[in-house]
Homo-oligomer: A and B are copies of this chain.
Amino acid sequence: MMAMRAFITTVLLTAAAAASAQDASLTGFGPASSAAERGIEQRVDASIGSADLDGWLRRLTSAPNQVGSAHNKENADFIAASLRQWGWDVTVEPVRVLVAYPTTQTLSLSGGDHYAADFSEPAVAGDPDTTRKDGVLPGMEAYSPDGRVDAPLVFVNEGLARDYDELAQLGESVKGKVVLVKSSGAGRWVKPRLAQEHGAVGVVIYSDPEADGFPKGEVYPGGAWRTDRTVQRGTLGIDSVLDAKGAKTLQAEHRTGDLAIPVVTIGYGDAEHFLRALAGKPVPLRWQGGLPLAYHVGGDAGVHLEVRSPWEWRTLYNVVATLRGSTWPDEWVIRGVHHDAWVYGAWDPLAGTTALLAEAKALGEQARAGQRPKRTVVFASWDGEELGILGSKAWAERHASELAKHAVFYLNNDTTGRGFLAAGGDPSLAALVDGVAADLKDPETGASVQARRLAKRAVDAAGKGKDASGDLIPERLGTGSDYLPFAHRFGVPSLHVRYGYDRNGDDESVPVYHSLYDTYTHYQRFGDPGLAYVSLLAKTNARLVLRTANADVLPWRYTAFAESLGKDIDRVQAGAEATHREAQRHNALVATDAYRLASVSYRQWKAPAAVDDAWEPVDLTTLRAAQQDLLAAARTYDEAAASAGDLPASRAAKVNAALRTFASAWLQPSGLPQRSWYRHLLQAPGRKEGEDVAPLPGIGDALGAKDWAQARQELALTTQATRKAAASLRAATAAL
């Protein structure tokens, strides 16, 4: 047995050691340039520490901020004016976009008690913002197709593929019916589309309390959690709302692309009335939620559902500000956060925008004092994120060729709170994040941010009876915020950071998600009282930006990247084999009548049918060999870079040029075969339940579709990219 205490102690003390080693060189810097950088960071910290965070947050959240609202435009103007005042070169780039906010919404029980849902959210004591109703959107799904149906209501749990399988086993169907589904388990835009595929004529999405209501804690205003009248807004929008030609068709038809059935969203207080009206079969146990009744499938009680929106053109305002780099102006470090919100948006996203203001002020002051960053820094305040990441996508498409030429790093914020630094993104950024976290002091413990990250990981692992071993590699990014076009389409090494606290896996920022109650008052009580973590987030962002912008050599490290690729290959192989084994096992159970025998007759379950278990093994050996070679090249580079010292600018430039070809090696310019908007060979949004990001998506998609030829093709492309990336690292090593 290993010496456990010694091991854990070492892991935890690494952070403390790093934090105290103020003399050591920063990643990407030599001794001299490190000292200069630390000086800048100290001055930036002082500026952030004296910034008017509370005033900005109060101002930004003082009125509703949805796309098209006056105050969202005011915020864009305020942000633009502020950055201009601090010396940034600011442009406000408008984007025309089709918007459908329902203005008519009805959901009522056709039967005895004629109960009708209420899409508004009542005021709560002690939060003045909740009493004002001017310009507040009701609970709704933006881009719901117009429609009016009278049909039976049927409950289908989370409305995901597995739920429809189980519904079929109960002998029930959603054909011609309105489905009632929980908001949990997947992005809400998935649910109406699956419902429509199964023949449903309307969709009601509700937030079950099990996810973020009273079972998690006291509800607002007594505590932070979701009340029975808290509605989670959302969007069903897709890219075509950005595209004038496609959008005109949508406008004419009052529907959203592939989606033609009306959709509403309600709170759990309303949902309880509808669930109580449902009789019929008892649900599978897995479907039961947190309301105090036995849930039933229904299919008997009728509802009237009606949705109508004016389908209107609105303007998004992306605010994009630049501080031109002093040494390498053609290398861009981009940092973004959106400013639109569903209502006031204190948690989501304006605490992050408050941090951006503080950073911009500090960087502007430094530039005026002669400390202009070496690389160009681009600060972006995106609009239209809530409607479908519209602003950042439009901007990235418009500036695609510049991005390809100039972008070296994209840093994103969105919802943020207090507690622990969470960083997701490209594994090559791990060393940068670790270094920044080690240098920052956590406001509530006095320990370093890195020490808290490591402690949390060790304690969480211990709770599962495990040791926390290995490095803290950021998880690759999924689909939830403005990093989407940068990470997944343009292949810019991207990072998403926030502060937060997951209590047993439950993010305490969730409860007021997309509701009226995401206010300044809620944030100051439960988000980050005193805004100490907004200040810390600004310092964190500033360091991440500056340590990239000012580094002699881009501060990327690749050993963790190559190891992560190795794990992804294992996951894809294991996943494909498990899927195949499961299909065979299932079919064997079907063939032997085991499903019927294992059920009980009074439940009247229908045994499932056999599935396609065709299978061809795809040999990943060459990709594994390429990955091993990449790992060797990565180790060599990382060691050489760590001991490089202060480099002359010309040599550094050569190294940086080589490193930039590493990032672009992973792009498939024609896009992934089954989802051509996405271009990254190593990452795309997950398509399976519970999988935020799909590893090796080209190969994985093809295996999922049983297209073995395509899988081999994607495998060859990925192998080739891996070799190319290894060559980039060898060139970078040679240039050092």
Binding site for B on A (CB under 8 A): 1, 4-5, 7-9, 12-13, 209, 214-219, 223, 225, 282, 285-286, 288, 290-294, 418-419, 444-445, 447, 451-452, 454-456, 458-460, 462, 465, 467, 501, 503-504, 506, 577-578, 580-582, 584-589, 591-598, 600-601
Contact = CB atoms under 8 A, between A and B. Distances in A.
Given A458-B589, A585-B8, A588-B4, A285 B506 contact: yes
A467 B585 contact: yes
Contacts of A219: 294
12 contacts: A4-B588, A5-B591, A12-B594, A215-B288, A216-B294, A217-B282, A285-B503, A444-B601, A451-B597, A462-B582, A462-B586, A501-B600
B452 A598 contact: yes
How often does this chain occur in the complex, in copies? 2
A729 to B, nearest CB: 35
A391 B542 CA distance: 76
Contacts of A291: 292
A369 B451 CA distance: 83
B592 A9 contact: yes
A223 B445 contact: no
B592 A223 contact: no
Contacts of A209: 292
B594 A418 contact: no
Given A12-B592, A596-B445, A587 B5 contact: yes
Given A290-B290, A444-B601, 5 more contacts: A5-B588, A12-B594, A218-B282, A285-B504, A465-B582
Contact of A214 (B293, B578, B585): B293
Find the residue from A214, A225, A504 having the highest chain B CB count within 10 A.
A214
A288 B214 CA distance: 10
Contacts of A592: 8-9, 12-13, 455, 458
B455 A594 contact: yes
A422 to B, nearest CB: 14
A293 B7 CA distance: 43
Contacts of A12: 592, 594
Nearest to A458: B594
Contacts of A4: 581, 584-585, 588
Given A8-B589, A588-B8, A588-B9, A597 B294 contact: no
B467 A215 contact: no
Contact of A459 (B288, B452, B584, B595): B595
A499 to B, nearest CB: 11
Contacts of A288: 215-216
Nearest to A288: B215
B1 A577 contact: yes
Contacts of A225: 294
A456 to B, nearest CB: 4
Contacts of A285: 216, 503-504, 506
A9 B447 CA distance: 60
Contacts of A506: 285
Contacts of A451: 597
Find the residue from A4, A288, A503, A597 having the highest chain B CB count within 10 A.
A597
A566 B465 CA distance: 24
B1 A597 contact: no
Nearest to A15: B597
Nearest to A508: B600
A11 to B, nearest CB: 8
Contacts of A282: 217-218, 223
A585 B7 CA distance: 9
Contacts of A454: 594
Which 9 A-B residue pairings sit nearest by Cβ, starting from the closest?
A: A455-B597, A8-B588, A459-B598, A455-B594, A5-B588, A4-B584, A12-B592, A292-B292, A456-B598
Nearest to A219: B294
A458 B598 contact: yes
Contacts of A444: 600-601
Contacts of A447: 593, 597
Contacts of A596: 445, 455
Contact of A600 (B5, B418, B577, B597): B418
Contacts of A294: 214-219, 223, 225
Given A292-B291, A294-B218, A462 B585 contact: yes
A578 B292 contact: no
A452 B592 CA distance: 11
Contacts of A600: 418-419, 444, 501
Nearest to A456: B598
B5 A601 contact: no
